[in-house]
Amino acid sequence: MEAYRTLAGGGEAVATYEIQKSKFIAHSLHVETEEAARDFILAMKKKYYDARHNCSAYILGERADKAKSNDDGEPGGTAGNPILEAMKKRGLTDACVVVTRYFGGIKLGAGGLIRAYGHTAGLGIEAAGLLEMRPFVPLEVTVSYDLLAPLEHYLRSETIRTEEPAYAEAVTLHLLLPPTEIEARSAELIDRTAGRAQLHAGAPRRIPCPVEKDREE
């Protein structure tokens, strides 16, 4: 199971950029299906019906193996592809970006369009924020209550990710560990409890982790 990056959820994000009297507006959204991407693109075209161009790109799938871009009337390769490349540069998937252009009367040329669409798409992505979906293995650690305090101190000192514990006759701590750490951490837990801890590892699952904003080079 590999990690991948996507846009943070919570609705669409917006960013604007102006150059040579042309105004570019980027809208970005986390999507998980082609239908959702198409619906988002159509919604932006309806919202900005008076704009000359509503160019778009989306990437889908855990392996980012579904991608499509659209120049929407701009010269071929000057709009949709730069948007797509801005997404690929940041390793994104399950994401859709639409860049609307209001033409200001001054032609930018092919190179200018490529730079403007790519830059605006990058601004839209940064406005949304990024999440990295990282694989973690859930590990249940069941111990008697006399071992709880020292184990909690250990988990805090090692900054190990945890979920809510379950309290019964014994306490079960729910840890989330990177797959590469499961063997070593399990050995440490057994050692720290003198073999009294009962461990049970579950199936790996991805957990969303915030990513610092990428900067344009």
**Tens of pLDDT, residue by residue, the chain (217 residues):** 788 999 987 778 999 999 999 999 999 999 999 999 999 999 999 999 999 999 999 999 989 999 999 999 999 999 999 999 999 999 999 999 999 999 988 889 999 999 999 999 999 999 998 999 999 999 999 999 999 999 999 999 999 999 999 999 999 999 999 999 999 999 999 999 999 999 999 999 999 998 865 444 3
**What is the DSSP code string of 122-168?**
HHHHHHH-EEEEEEEEEEEEEE-GGGHHHHHHHHHHTT-EEEEEEES
Q: Which domain holds residue 141?
A: 134-210
Q: How many domains does the chain divide into?
A: 2
Q: Is the pTM of this model over 0.85?
A: no
Q: From CA 168, how far away is CA 175, in angstroms rounded?
A: 17
Residue 151 lies in a domain: yes
Q: Residue 122: phi, psi to the nearest 5?
A: -60, -40
**Is residue 23 located within the same domain as residue 124?**
yes
Alpha carbon distance, N-terminus to C-terminus of the chain:
30
**Is residue 113 located within the same domain as residue 13?**
yes
**Is residue 45 located within the same domain as residue 152?**
no
Residue 216 lies in a domain: no
Place of tokens 């859930």: 138
CATH of the domain at 202: 3.30.70.240
**Is residue 75 located within the same domain as residue 102?**
yes
**Is residue 94 located within the same domain as residue 110?**
yes
CATH of the domain at 42: 3.30.230.30
**Is residue 138 located within the same domain as residue 112?**
no
For position 213, what pLDDT does the model report?
Answer: 57
Q: From CA 92, how far away is CA 58, in angstroms rounded?
A: 9
Q: Each residue of 163-201: b (16+ CB within 10 Å) or e? A: eeeeeeeebebebbbeeebbeebbeebeeebeeebebee
Residue 217 lies in a domain: no
